[in-house]
Amino acid sequence: MSFSSSFKYIAVALMLAVPFSYAAKNSSGKVRSVIGDVTTQKKSEGNWVPLRVGAKVKEKDIIRTLVESQAIVALPDGSTISVEENSLVEFSQLVSEDGVQTAMTDIKSGKIRFDVQKQANKESSFKFKTGTATAAIRGTAGVIGTTIKGGTIASLRNGRLEINLSGKVVDIDGGKTVFSDDTTFVVLELASSGDLDFLNEIDALLSDTTMTLDKLKETIQTMDNEYKTRQTAAKDSLKCIFEPLPDTIYTAIASIKGTCPAGVAVEVSGERIESTGEPLQFYPSWSPSVTGEKKFPVTCYTGKVSFDCANLNTFYKLPPDTTAKDSSLAMKPFNVTTPSPVVVCEKGAVIEGEFDPRDSTATLFVKLGSYTSPNLVPLSAEGKWTHSITINDQKGNWDEKYAIVEFNGLSGKVTAKVDLVIDKSCSAVNLGRPVILFQGSDSVRCEARVYITGIDKDIVILSTERDNTPLKETYFDKNSFSTTKLRPGLHEYKWIAQDQAGNKSEIQKKLGCYPNLPINIRVDKGSKERLRVPPPPKGVSRRLEKTLRFSITGLQQDLNHIKKVIVKKGNKILLSEDGPRIADDNYTVNVELEYGEETKIDINVVLKNGKVLTAQKIYEVR
C-alpha cells in the first residue's frame, strides 16, 4: 500500500520523550506511527477511540484500520508490527519479563507486516493467529494475515515461520510465500516474498473460483518472474548507502543514517520515508531492559518492487557503571567506520575502522573471496586502520558481493560484513575487452556469424553496421554467437563489441549475398530469328553482320550477382566480361552470319551463387 506524503508522521522528539520503562516486566507496546483512520478498543470492550502516536498498546487491545490507513506498534524488544489497511487485530498476549517475551497477535481480518527481532531467550514465544491457523516465529520479517475468502496467507522476506493448520504443520523460510484453504497449504518460492502489494495481488487471484490450483500457481509464477526482472533492474541501478551501526551501543535507540536517490521509498522497522536525495535518518527504539542483538533490515521500494538494500546490526548492552574506578581503562570496541555498501571504482575497495591499540595480541584481517590481508594491527597507528583491495576483472574478484573483516582480541572475536557495489562501468575495474571472432558466411542463405568472447560476468553491446549504417544492437551477458542477415549484393559489414566500461573491439568484412533470385536471360526477338535477304551477286561476299541484343533480368538493379558473361559462336569467343568490367545488364554483340546457313550463338551467364544460366540465339539467313 502506498500512502500520501502529506500523512508523514513521526518525530524523534516524541520517541525520546516517551521511553520504555526500565522495569524488568513490561506488558505493553508503543504506537510509533499512525496514518489515516485508525481506532482502538481497549481490552476488547468499550467504545472505539482514535489511536494516537505514543499511546500504549496492552494485552487484549484491538486496533482497527480503514482504507489507506496504517498503525505501527513497537514492542519492548524493538520488534514492530504494522497493522495494514482494512484490518482488525487483537494483541491477545503482550508480556516481556526478565528477557522472556510472550506475544500473540490475533489477526481477525486483513493483514499485518512484522519485523521481529531475534529472540535471545528460548522461552520467548512470538506467535500470530488467524481464523484458520497459528504461526510461530523467531526473528523474521514478512507479512501474514487472512485472505478475502477467509484463509491464511503469509509471505517471508527473511527468517523462518512455522504454521499450524488443523494439526498440519509447514515450515517456510525467507523467500517463500504460503496460502491455504481450510485443509491445504500451498508453498511457493517467490522473489516477491515479503512484498505486501504483491501478496494482495495473490489474494485477489485466490478469490477467482474458476481458476484451478495448477493455473493459479502458473499465473502467480509468471507474475513473480516479471517482478523479479524489475527487482533485479532496480537493485542494479539504485545506489543507496547506509552507515554501519557500531558493533555495540549503550542506548536503547539506534540512529540509522543513509542516502538514496530521489523517489525511492526507504523503510526501517515499519517506518517508510520517500527519499528526496537528501540524507535520511531513522530512530528505532526499544525498552532499555531488553539487551542483546538488534537487527535493522533496510527495505527499498521503487517501481512497484521492493528489496533489502542494507542490513544493519548492532549489540545493545546496558550502560557501563561510570562510577567504577577503572572505567577509563575499558577497552574501546572494535568498529568498522566505512559506510556499507562501499562503491568500488577507481580506488578499489577502501575499508577503514578503529580498535583499541593497547591490545597488542589482537589480529585484524580483511577478506574478499580467496584473498586475505596481512594482520593489520601492527600496520596501524593509534588504533585506526585502513586497507585497500584492488578489484578488477583480471583478478577475478569483480563479482564479489561483500568483504569480511575479522578482529580477534581480548574483548572477543568480532566479524563485520561490508557490502560492495562494484561499478563494472569503471575503467579501473573493467580492464579486459571483449573479442569478436568471425565464424564465416553463407552467400546463398545470406547469413554471417560471429562469436563474442571475453565477456565473463560483464555486459556487452554488439553493434552491427552495413555500409556505415547501423543495423541493430544486441546485449550479451555471456560468451555467445550472433547471426547477421546479409543484404543481397556486395556490402561492407562491421561488428563492434563494447563492454560497460567502454572497452571495445571491432571487425570489418566485405560480404556478398546472392540468393536464388529469378534471374534469366532475355534474348531480343526470341531464340530463333529468320532473315530474308536477297542473295549477293557473284563475286560478292556471302557474309553479313548482325547485332545480337540480350539482357539479364531479375537482378533487382544489382549487378554484383553476376560473376561472368560469355558469348560464343562455336569455339570463338565473341564476348567475355567479369568482375568490374560488368557495367550493365543489357548487352549488344556484333555477330557474323553466312548467307544460306544457320548460325548458333551461345550465351552463358555465371552467377556468384554458382548457378549458370544459358541461352541460345539461332540465325537463319535465306
Residue 293 sits in the same domain as residue 399: yes
Taking 3-state DSSP, the helix, strand and coil percentages for the chain, each rounded to the nearest 5, stand at 10, 50, 40
Distances (CA, A) of 602 to 169, 246, 593: 91, 95, 14
Count the Cβ atoms, other than its own, within 10 Å of residue 386.
14
Contact 151, 170 (CB under 8 A): no
Supply the range of the domain harboring residue 456. Answer: 435-513
d(CA 268, CA 275): 13
**Residue 328: predicted pLDDT:** 43
- pLDDT for residue 9: 35
Same domain for 169 and 28: yes
Question: Do residue 276 and residue 216 come from a single domain?
Answer: no
Measured distance CA(26)–CA(100) in Å, rounded: 10
**DSSP assignment of 141-174, as one string?**
EEEEEE-TTS-EEEEEEESEEEEEETTEEEEEET
Q: Are residues 177 and 130 in the same domain?
A: yes
Return the pLDDT at 320.
Answer: 60
Averaged pLDDT, groups of 10, the chain, 622 residues long: 36 35 58 91 84 87 94 89 94 75 89 86 81 84 92 91 86 91 82 94 91 92 94 90 90 87 92 91 82 91 91 83 44 82 90 82 90 90 89 92 89 86 93 95 93 93 95 93 92 96 95 90 93 82 89 88 93 91 92 90 92 94 84
505: cell is 573491439
Q: C-alpha cell of 395?
A: 583478478
Extract the C-alpha cell encoding 229.
526482472
pLDDT of residue 556: 82
| Residue 377 parent element (H or E) | none
176 and 262 part of one domain: no
Report the candidate in 511, 510, 490, 610 with the shortest Cα–Cα distance to residue 559.
490
Q: How far apart are CA 545 and CA 500, in angstroms?
A: 71
Query: Are both 165 and 191 inside the same structural domain?
Result: yes
**In whole angstroms, what is the distance from residue 264 CA to residue 274 CA?**
6
- Length in residues, the chain: 622
Asked if 30 and 114 touch (Cβ cutoff 8 Å), the reply is no
C-alpha–C-alpha distance, residues 344 and 402, integer Å: 11
Q: Answer yes or no: do 202 and 81 share one domain.
A: yes
pLDDT for 3: 36
Is residue 110 located within the same domain as residue 188?
yes
User: Rounded to an integer, what distance in angstroms lies between the CA atom of residue 432 and that of residue 296?
Assistant: 39
User: Considering the domain boundaries, does residue 377 fall inside one?
Assistant: yes
| Residues 280 and 263: beta-carbon distance below 8 Å | no
The side-by-side arrangement of strands in the sheet containing 528-531 is 528-531, 612-621, 598-607, 562-569, 572-578
Spatial distance between the Cα atoms of 107 and 154, rounded to a whole number of angstroms: 12
- Distance, CA of 609 to CA of 615 (rounded, Å): 18
Residue of 156, 145, 68, 151 whose CA lies nearest to 109: 145
The CA-to-CA distance between both ends of the chain, in Å, stands at 100
Whether 84 and 231 map to the same domain: the answer is yes
pTM > 0.75: yes or no? no
**Residues 440, 409 within the same domain:** no
The reply to whether 117 falls in a domain is yes
Domain for residue 372, yes or no? yes
Q: For residue 228, what pLDDT is reported?
A: 94
- Are 119 and 102 contacting, i.e. CB atoms less than 8 angstroms apart? no
Domain membership of residue 562 (yes or no) is yes
- How far apart (Å, rounded) are the C-alpha atoms in residues 336 and 343? 16
606 and 493 both lie in a single domain: no
Residue after which a domain boundary falls, among 394, 421, 448: 421
CATH number of residue 616's parent domain: 2.60.40.10
Report residue 601 as a C-alpha cell.
Answer: 550463338
Residue 430 belongs to a domain: no
* Residue type present at position 17: A
Domain annotation covers residue 428: no
**Rounded CA separation 495/478 (Å):** 17
Q: How many CA atoms lie within 13 A of 582 on its CB side?
A: 22
* Dihedral sign for Cα atoms in the order 318, 324, 327, 330: negative
**Domain end among 482, 513, 544:** 513
DSSP line for 507-525: EEEEEEE------EEEETT
Within-domain flag for 289: yes
* Alpha-carbon span 358 to 250, nearest angstrom: 22
Q: Which pLDDT score is estimated for 44?
A: 65
What values do phi and psi take at 5, rounded to 5? -65, -15
| End-of-domain residue from the set 188, 216, 237 | 237
Residues 616 and 600: beta-carbon distance below 8 Å? yes
Same domain, 307 and 410: yes
How many domains in the chain?
4
Q: Answer whether residue 106 is part of any domain.
A: yes
